[in-house]
Structures are given as C-alpha cells and as structure tokens.
Structure 1
Amino acid sequence: MIQETGRIIEIKEINGEKTVVVECISKSACKSCSSNDNCGVGVVAKGLTNRAHHLSMPYKQGMEINESIELFIENKDIVKSSMIVYIIPLLLFVSGCSISYLFTNNEPLVIAISLLSLFIGTLIAKAVSSKLYPNNSISKLISTK
C-alpha cells in the first residue's frame, strides 16, 4: 500500500455533493542522499522543483481547509495499472519487431514497424486505462484516513 500525505486546499460543492481538493507535493528522493553532489541523477534532481498535484476527493465530515490528511492506494490497483501501462506497449513492440523481422531483413523497416507497434500499443493502453479508470473513479481508488 502506498501512503502519501496531502493538504486540503479547497472545499467545494459539485452537483450537490461536497468534494475537497487535496494538494500533494512530489519530492525527489535524490535530494536527500549524501552523495547527490557526485551523482548525475542528483544533479538533475536539484534542477527540478517540487511539483504539486491536485486531487478531488469525496468530502468526509470534519474535513477542514489546511488540514493534513493521509491518502492510501491499494497494491492491487498499482499492479493492475502498471501492467496496463508497461506490458501492453512492450508486447506489441516485441511482436511488431519479431513479425516484421520474419518478412524482411531491412533493418530500418524493422525499426520503423517496431516503433509503430509501440505507438499503437501506447494508444491501446491509454484506451484500456481510461475504460478501467475513468477520471471520476480515481477518487474511489484513493482512501483517506
């Protein structure tokens, strides 16, 4: 289970239901390492600022603005979405590469077909993920404490 701390920045009413807007700040782990001055990833991480993400969540009694809340995402949802995002494009890429190599030995053509297969796999993954996780269902995956 992934746990993240967020801060309520707004309480609003949408279609007769109260929702809260929660702000989560993503931080790079590379900034805390003792050898980040000597590491290429650490140098890049210093140049990137912390990003704020805003999530709309269902309102629960007692929530107030500027209150910190804990957000939780179940492991099964993380695994399911990761499988969609990584496995579908990868399988289509490998399939496109293998099948195109069977029919031609022209390397630039094999590369082009492989990249086209990867692009198609990405589009399919996007379509599948939007069917499984529409925007209004995201808040149901994240629970608060």
Structure 2
Amino acid sequence: MIKELASVVAIEAGQVTVTSQIKSTCSGCAQVDTCGSGQIAKALPQKKLTLTLPYDISITGVQLKEGDCVVLALPEKHVLSSAGQVYLLPLLGLISFSAIGQLLLKLQILPHELLALGLGIIGGYLGYRLAKFQQKQSKKSESLQPKIIEVLPSPNLVK
C-alpha cells in the first residue's frame, strides 16, 4: 500500500477535499544544479496537491471535520499495473507497427521509408489510445482512487 498524510480542508455533501504536501528529494542532492529532475522541481513551484474524494461516514466510521489529518492509501499493484499500461502499450504499438512497416518496405509493398515511419507513428498512437481507453474503464479508475483508511487526531488537540 502506498500511504500519504493529508489534511481535510473542506467537507461537502458526500465529498471531502484534502491537501497533501508534495515531497521532493531534489533539494538535498549535491547535483541539484546539473540534474534534469532538480531543474524541473525548481521550475514547478506547486508544493501542495489537492484531491476531492468521495466521503461516507459509514466507511470511515469517524465524522471528519476541517483540519483533521487523514491517511490516504492506494494499492501499489494497481499503480504499477496502470503505469505499465501507460508506458508499455504505446511503446509496443510503435515497435510492432514499425516492424510491420519495415517488412512491407522490404517486400516492396510500401514505396518509401516515410510510409513505414508513418506506420510506426500510427502504431504508437493506437497504443496510446488503447492505454487511455483502459485507464478510463470504471473498474480500473475506481481502483486508482485514493481511499481514507485512517483518521488521525488533530495536531492542535494533542497536548
């Protein structure tokens, strides 16, 4: 399980809005000025992530209020599966359609290499569309929705 602490900032009918600090390890590295990731971390000033999640008191068992600290969880296997689809399907489409394009070029069915190249690009795009379609399926998108698994006491109430 991937877990993250978040603070409740708003509660509406059936929904709760939480914010979480974005953690970056780029500031502690000696290569921060020459690393691409460090440059991106400097360029993107957003330090908080805000999510609106469905909220049902019968699931959490605790009435939430603004300022509460909650633990959000996301199953790691769903994240890895989703990332694999998003990265691998376009790549497999590109490679397979490029191979078909090269075969058709070798058999002299395609008259020019640019057509074989175009076929590879079409394959990559079709892989992208397939990955996007699979990610939008309701069962898949529900498994990637963070869930509140624990409500921690508010920091201002602890003495």
Match of 1:23 in 2: 19
- Residues 43 and 92 of structure 1, relative CA distance in 2, 3 Å threshold: closer
C-alpha deviation, 1:141, in angstroms: 5.1
CA distance in 2, matches of 1:52, 1:103: 48
Gaps of 5+ in 1: none
Rounded to whole Å, the distance in 2 between the matches of 1:139 and 1:104 is 42
- Residue 72 of structure 1 is matched in structure 2 by 73
Aligned-residue RMSD, C-alpha:
2.3
- Give 2:33's match in structure 1, choosing from 22, 34, 37: 37
SS at structure 1 position matched to 2:49: strand
- Pair 1:115 & 2:121 matched: yes
List per-residue Cα deviations over 1:44-69 (Å, max 9, x = no partner): 32121125232313243232212221
**Residue 56 in structure 1 maps to residue 92 in structure 2:** no
CA separation of 1:108 and 1:28: change in aligned 2, threshold 3 A: farther
Q: Paired residue for 1:133?
A: 140
Q: CA deviation at 1:103?
A: 0.3
1:2 corresponds to which residue? 2
TM-aligned CA distance change 1:80 to 1:139, over 3 Å: closer
1:12 lines up with 2:12 in the alignment: yes
Helix, strand or coil for the counterpart of 2:102? helix
Paired residues in the alignment total 139
Question: Partner of 1:20: helix, strand, or coil?
Answer: strand
- Amino acid of the structure 1 residue aligned with 2:52: L
Cα separation, 2, equivalents of 1:96 and 1:29: 39
Q: Deviations over 1:75-105 (max 9, x none)?
A: 2211221222122222211111111110015
> Shift of residue 43 of structure 1?
2.8
Structure 2 unpaired stretches of 5+: 107-111, 151-159
TM-score if structure 2 supplies the norm length? 0.74
- What are the Cα deviations for residues 106-134 of structure 1, in whole angstroms up to 9, with x where unaligned? 33222221111111111111111111334
- The one-letter code sitting in structure 2 at the alignment partner of 1:75 is E
- Structure richer in strand, relative to its length: 1
